[in-house]
Amino acid sequence: MTDEKTAVQEPEVKEQETPAPEAPEKKKRRRRFGDRSDGRKLRTINPMNKFMPYVMPQRCDACNTYSDMFDVTKTDKFCRGKVREGKTDFGFLHVMIAAYLRTVSQRPGINRFVSGQKIYARNDIQVVMTIKKTLSLDSPDTCIKVRFEPDDTVDEVYEKFNKVVTEIKNQPEDKTSFDKLNKILSLIPGLLCRWTVKLLNFMDYFGWLPKKLLWLSPFHGSMIITSMGSLGIRPIYHHIYNFGNLPIFIAYGGRRSVVKVDSEGKASTKKYIELKVVTDERICDGYYYASAFKLIKRYVENPELLETKPEEVVEDID
């Protein structure tokens, strides 16, 4: 009798031992003097890093380039599984963004930016991407910006990103907020436009740009990403802009089949995606960047790690 009762009660005990993981709590901070609406000033940063924006006042002075190759054999299988689950447009882009977010959750220094010769930790994560409504030569470009959280899973990335893309593609031509702003700026006469940009730069230097304008600007954000694979070419080292505060530009190409030979002399064909990155070296040192890129590669090549939230979200320094 005792054995039978125990056997019946065991499943209930096992269900109680696996509670759903809780999302990490985000530290609340008060805005202090010197902070901006889009970031907080870093006050305990290394003196050498604090000095670098004065030695290299423009982003073009501080560009570093990085390249890598991702083995996407497992990643492609993961993406096909998501498509079978009903996520029809799921692809490498969603994995790449999710890998970047997860890396920010562990290496928050790559989500900093330089403005007004000061280094700031961005308050949120904003990913920028230029898209075409249709893949044709005369199709107009438009920019999208999506806000994410550092603990977002790959499924949450898919939902947030595709929601914005769908909204943009369903809108008539030149009707998005970015398109309207771009059209207004294009109507300003040449000489006056130069002074307008100078005024915007001046306001941005002191952090006086309105939040709405910061959100519409494709030059302000955590990272900008582009897929050269959709264009049928290999990725390029795309420059980052002096205007605004984008610190990282990521470009990746299409899949390439590479024959690899293991230590036993056995050959196998694997699929790789080439990555090119341009970074603002002033926001963190090379060792920190290297550790971040290693994490991105680990998450891209093992996307199952991105299906659950991180155990801890690391906060940037004060």
Query: How does pLDDT run along the chain (318 residues), one tens digit per residue?
Result: 444 444 444 444 443 444 444 555 666 778 888 999 999 999 999 999 999 999 999 999 999 999 999 999 999 999 999 999 999 999 999 999 999 999 999 999 999 999 999 999 999 999 999 876 665 566 667 789 999 999 999 999 999 999 998 888 777 766 677 778 878 888 888 889 899 999 999 999 999 999 999 999 999 999 999 998 878 889 999 999 999 999 999 999 999 888 888 788 888 888 999 999 999 999 999 999 999 999 999 999 999 999 999 999 999 999
- Amino acid 131: pLDDT: 77
- The SS3 call for residue 144 is strand
94, 161 in Cβ contact below 8 A?
Answer: yes
- Amino acid 17: pLDDT: 42
Separation CA 36–CA 211 (nearest Å): 10
Separation CA 163–CA 167 (nearest Å): 6
pTM over 0.85: yes
129, 143 in Cβ contact below 8 A?
Answer: yes
Separation CA 82–CA 17 (nearest Å): 28
- Amino acid 16: pLDDT: 43
- Amino acid 279: pLDDT: 97
For the beta carbon of residue 174, count every other beta carbon within 10 angstroms: 12
> Structural domains in the chain?
54-218+280-307 (3.30.559)
- Amino acid 286: pLDDT: 93
- Amino acid 259: pLDDT: 84
